[in-house]
Amino acid sequence: MKDVLTPTQAAQKVKDGMAVMVGGFMAVGSPNRVIDALVEEKVKELTLIVNDTGFPDQGVGKMVAADQLQKVIVSHIGTNKITGEKMNNKEIEVELVPQGTLAEQIRAGGSGLGGVLTPTGVGTVVQEGKRVINVDGQDFLLATPLRADVALLKAHKADRAGNLVFRRAARNFNPLMATAAELVIVEVDEILETGSLDPDEVVTPGIFVDYLVRGEVQDNG
């Protein structure tokens, strides 16, 4: 049985300077109640691993606006002009990663792999500082695995054992990130008794989940 935390209790598990993965795609599938609590707790100097930095007033964009981040590892920042401003002012370090590569780095981190080889970015600025490996005459970049201290995720339903069901596009990065962090906290719309879920519905087994948080139903995912 997983302990059920309040958003504030969940936010207090995140300490200054940690690396944090947050699920979501343009704020869809993001744990919004926990994010709000993190902003209230004023946790700082975080390294954020996320698909995008949301919008200034939605998702992890609120953390950007609240000056809580020292670095973001992200596939795009175009929907949040504050991220771009802070990057240009050198207030935040932004590491831009092609989206598929980012997903594979997280998957590698969760699977115990040493990295993945990708042709994406060969011969571009993405190649800078990366190891190039030639396989059968073709160059690939070695994308090293990504892991985090904490993953803050969003699911539609969970049972008391922590088995997770996702809703439509809100699934996005959440299942991958559940495997790639030392501590996994999941905000869910509904918590059911163990045995209530159809096993065919379960995407992420409860063994990957440490804590649950009761969320609010989102219509946009």
Alpha carbons 199 and 163: distance in angstroms, whole number: 9
Alpha carbons 78 and 84: distance in angstroms, whole number: 8
The pLDDT of residue 215 is: 83
Alpha carbons 82 and 85: distance in angstroms, whole number: 5
The pLDDT of residue 190 is: 95
The pLDDT of residue 221 is: 43
Show the domains of the chain with their CATH numbers: 3-114+145-214 (3.40.1080.10)
C-beta of residue 158 within 8 angstroms of C-beta of residue 189: no
The pLDDT of residue 219 is: 46
Residue 16: closest CA among 68, 55, 62, 92: 68
The pLDDT of residue 125 is: 87
C-beta of residue 207 within 8 angstroms of C-beta of residue 175: no
Alpha carbons 194 and 122: distance in angstroms, whole number: 48
Alpha carbons 144 and 63: distance in angstroms, whole number: 26
CB half-sphere exposure, 28, CA atoms < 13 A = 12
C-beta of residue 151 within 8 angstroms of C-beta of residue 180: yes
C-beta of residue 218 within 8 angstroms of C-beta of residue 26: no
| Lookup result for tokens 């200034």 | 56
C-beta of residue 177 within 8 angstroms of C-beta of residue 150: no
Is this prediction's pTM over 0.85?
Answer: yes
The pLDDT averaged over each successive group of 10 residues in the chain (221 residues) is 96 98 95 97 97 95 97 96 96 95 97 96 91 97 98 97 96 97 97 94 97 73 43
C-beta of residue 158 within 8 angstroms of C-beta of residue 164: yes
